[in-house]
Structures are given as C-alpha cells and as structure tokens.
A and B are shown apart, each in its own frame.
Chain A
Amino acid sequence: MNGSSRLLRIAAPVIVGLLFVALWDAVVRHYVIPPYILPGPGLVAETLWRDGPSLLGSLLVTLRITLAALAAAIIVGGLLAILFAQSRILELSLSPYAVILQVTPIVAIAPLIIIWVNDVFLSLLVCAWIVAFFPIVANTTLGLNSADRNLVDLFRLYGASRWQLLRYLRLPSALPYFLAGVRISGGLALIGAVVAEFVAGTGGTETGLASRILEAGYRLEIARLFAALLLLSLTGIAIFALLSWVSRLLLAHWHESALPDED
C-alpha cells in the first residue's frame, strides 16, 4: 500500500466524522434545541470530561462482564466445536440446541437467568455468554471440517492418529475461521452485557454503563446519556480493533486475510 492511500484510509472517515459533528452543532444552535432533547457536541464533550471518572468506573464493570463472557465463549465454544468435529452424533444431537439458544432473543431469557442465578455478576456473564458463544462454535466447526481433503488423505497415508489429525491439520485449518468468530463474538459479548444490564435494572452497588444510560434517560440528562453511549461505542471499536490486530498477528505469513495489500 502506498502512502497516499493509507492517508486516505485515515483521513476520509475523520473528515466525515468532523463534518457530522459540525452539522450536529449547527443544527442544535440554529433550531435552539434544548439539551434535554438533543445536547450539542460541546456539551457532550464537557459532560464526558466532568463525569469521566465515574463513567469510567461503570465502564470497567461492563468491560469485566464483557471480557469474562468472551473468554467463556472462546473456551466453551472452541471445545464444543472440537467435540462436534470429533463426533457426528454429538454434533447432530447438540447443535440444534445451540441454534435455539442463539435465535431466542436474549431480552426474553435474561429475566429468567437473573432470577435463577443469584450472583448478579454471574447472571450478567451468562447472558452475555449466550449471545457471544454461537459464532465461535459455528465458525470453528466449519473450520475444523474445512481441512484440505488431500492433506487429510496424506495424514491417513502416514497412519496419523485422530489426535495428530486434530493437532496438526484440523486445528490450524480452523484458526482463521475461529478468529473470525472471535471477532464477531467480541462485539456480541459487549452487546450481551449491556442488554443484560438493561434487564437487570439499576439496582446494586456496582453498576455498569447500561444502568447509567437508563438512569440518565430517566432524569433527562441526555448529555450524560450521550457521553455513556460514546464510551460504549469506543469500547466496542477498541475490542474489535484489538481482536483484528491479534488475528492479523496470528495469521501473518500464511492466510490471505492477513496479507498486505499489493499494488
């Protein structure tokens, strides 16, 4: 990639963002929109600065749930996919339930989970995990079954054991699929955590960002709502960028997706 196209890749979205903020500011000023309907960008920035420390505390709570759910999704999802790849019977008997868990809206199950699981952190974790684990299972299972057929034959020719086939062929073949799943799950874990917090409500001593958003909404403190929303989006972007970076790092040298653009 040459210098000017890299510049464009960064500059173009930044310019769009600045134009949007300028337009937002102009609209708020021109129509004199009260801040409890739509605060201007200046007020949001000011609120973010003023409430920053307390919002960051809440963000940390949400982030802890998100990361724990993602870790659980990676472990359980990965293991489940390996089990599926080892046994067709197991895959046939369990995968419909994974799908059911996936397609049932989390807002509908969350109240049950919050009732059943006593610990607040744990119940939120379970909700976020349910939302996050499916892409990892589905992608990794696909990846494990996508190993080159000729290579599978070659392994057979050399009398490879099941374990050797998994360790040296199926797992590396599945890595790009698994990482694509993790990248999706990272965002979903955050969404799951926020949705679960919404359902759980504002109770408790340690409250996450979602509770702060609800609270700010009730009090018509829209600037703070925006500030929290902004933090949430930034967190989502950061998680995605981090996972993309890890993915590129692991797939460097060999996978098409991680190769630099060639002009």
Chain B
Amino acid sequence: MADLVTIAGIGKSFRNGVIALEGVDLGVAEGEFLSVLGPSGCGKSTLLRIIAGLTPPSAGRLDWRAGDMLGRIGFVFQEPTLMPWAKVWDNVYLPLRLAGVTRGHAEERIAETLAAVGLQGFEKAYPRELSGGMRMRVSIARALVNEPRLLLLDEPFAALDEITRAKLNEDLLALWRRHRRTVVFVTHSVFESVFLSSRIVVMAKRPGHVTAEVKVYFAGPRDAGLRLSAPYIDVCRVVSRHLTEAIA
C-alpha cells in the first residue's frame, strides 16, 4: 500500500546541543499498525511529535500523501491528559468542538466512540472518578472521535498495571481491525509491540536513528491465547535481539 507519510532524513537537535534524531528515514503505510520501539532517550517521542507537527524538525522533510493534515491526526499522550473540569462526554467532544461541530451534531458520533472504547454509561463522570485505565480509554476515544487519518500514540499504557495494559492492548487492536486506521505506536515494550503491530522499527540512541525493521505476521487471531503461543515468543525473541543490539 502507498505511504500515508514519507519521512526523509529527519534530524532534530535541541538548543542545549542534544541531538535527538539524525537521518531518520521511514515510510508509514496507509492502514498499517507501526510500532516504534527503543530505549528511553532514543528520540522516539520526538519523532512522533515531529510527525504530529508539534515540533519542527531541524533537518529533513515529511511528505504527506493526503495533503494538509490539520485536525486529521489523533494523538494519545503518555498521560491521559484530560481536562479535569470537564466530564467524559465533554472531554471526548473537544476535537469536534474545536472544529466547530455543535453539541447536537456531535451527539451520535460521541455515543458511537464511547461505546467503541467501552465507556458507555460514563458520559457524566469526571476524570478523577475514573481509574487510570478508564482515563486512558477516554483519551483514546478523544483521539478517535473525529475519525483521524492517522493515530499517534506515545507510550500510552506505560503507566498502567500489566492486567489493564493487556486488556487495553486487545481493545486497541480490535479498534484498529475495525477501521484499519493508520497507527504509529511508540513503546519500549517488546511484548506490546509484537502483540499489536504489523511492523516494528527499532531505534537506537545518541543520536536517535532506526537500526532494524521487523514485519510481524501471525496466522491465527491475535487474542489472549497468542501471548502464550510459540510463534509469538519467537518474534519477541527476534525483536528483543534487535533491541539489545540497539542498546549496546
């Protein structure tokens, strides 16, 4: 499939002299679930911010196939990053509100999205009344509500416990399968990346660059059973070796 965005020779150096990224070339194919895996400090979050247009690159360029992406990118941060004064419904409404959609017109779309992430019945709850996992679901619903062309996730489940994390992985995967929206997922977990992705790129640090790429394919369904299967463990082993080399 054609690339939604082509990243060519991206570099980023900060004012304090730190070179976060150097010569990163990467294509993100339409409809793929791409994981960017690397140790902390390898610039993977910076890369994600550059793709989102939140940080300007110091070198290189991004080529978008779909033209102007303003308002067509969903972003999920490491923290749920919700507005504490707003109810779940209003938090999810935000992207539509900023796009000028009235509350009445947003109603149906928000109900759909909340149902898709398992939040029906929580419309009137405030973020503080929810668990960490539920807050993250709100954050994902907000990112999905305006049907973005590209969904960017920056270690969204890093702060969650293992059980919640596994459940959210499965639900995220189910969401992706339904619409085949393009996803770029930043993580430092080998298991998570193998479970979720159709492709994994591994990054090393100082300065951040891509060292390896692994295509992931499993014959069977990706469900809880997959985590215990031999093929899954094999791929994890391969990816893990790449990561070890990247850190060395």
Contact B85 A172, beta carbon cutoff 8 Å: yes
Interface residues of B in 29-85 (CB under 8 A from A): 49, 52-54, 70-71, 73, 75, 77, 79, 81, 83-85
Kindly state the interface size class of chain B when it binds its partner: 20 to 34
Using a Cβ cutoff of 8 Å, how many contacts connect chains A and B? 55
In the complex, identify which listed stretch (B11-19, B93-101, B202-210, B227-235) lies at the interface while the others stay far away.
Answer: B93-101
In the bound complex, how far is the Cα of B95 from the Cα of A155, in angstroms?
A: 8
The count of chain A contact residues (Cβ–Cβ below 8 Å) is 20
- In the complex formed, the residue of A with least CB distance to B142 is A154
In the bound complex, how far is the Cα of B73 from the Cα of A55, in angstroms?
A: 66
A97 on interface, CB distance cutoff 8 Å: no
B128 on interface, CB distance cutoff 8 Å: yes
Contact B73 A175, beta carbon cutoff 8 Å: no
A23 on interface, CB distance cutoff 8 Å: no
Interface residues of A in 153-178 (CB under 8 A from B): 153-160, 164, 168-169, 172, 175
In the bound complex, how far is the Cα of B49 from the Cα of A153, in angstroms?
A: 10
Q: Select which of A172, A253, A259 is within 8 A of B83 by beta carbon.
A: A172
**What A residues does B99 contact at CB under 8 A?**
158-159
Contact B98 A164, beta carbon cutoff 8 Å: yes
- In the complex formed, the residue of B with least CB distance to A151 is B81
**A191 → B minimal CB distance (Å):** 32
**B69 → A minimal CB distance (Å):** 9
Contact B84 A150, beta carbon cutoff 8 Å: no
B122 on interface, CB distance cutoff 8 Å: no
Interface residues of A in 131-151 (CB under 8 A from B): 148, 150-151
16 sample A-B contacts, Cβ–Cβ < 8 Å, listed by A number: A150-B81, A153-B49, A153-B52, A154-B77, A157-B71, A157-B75, A158-B70, A158-B99, A158-B146, A159-B71, A159-B98, A159-B99, A160-B98, A172-B86, A254-B84, A259-B128
Question: Which A residues are within 8 Å of any B CB, using their own CB?
Answer: 148, 150-151, 153-160, 164, 168-169, 172, 175, 253-255, 259
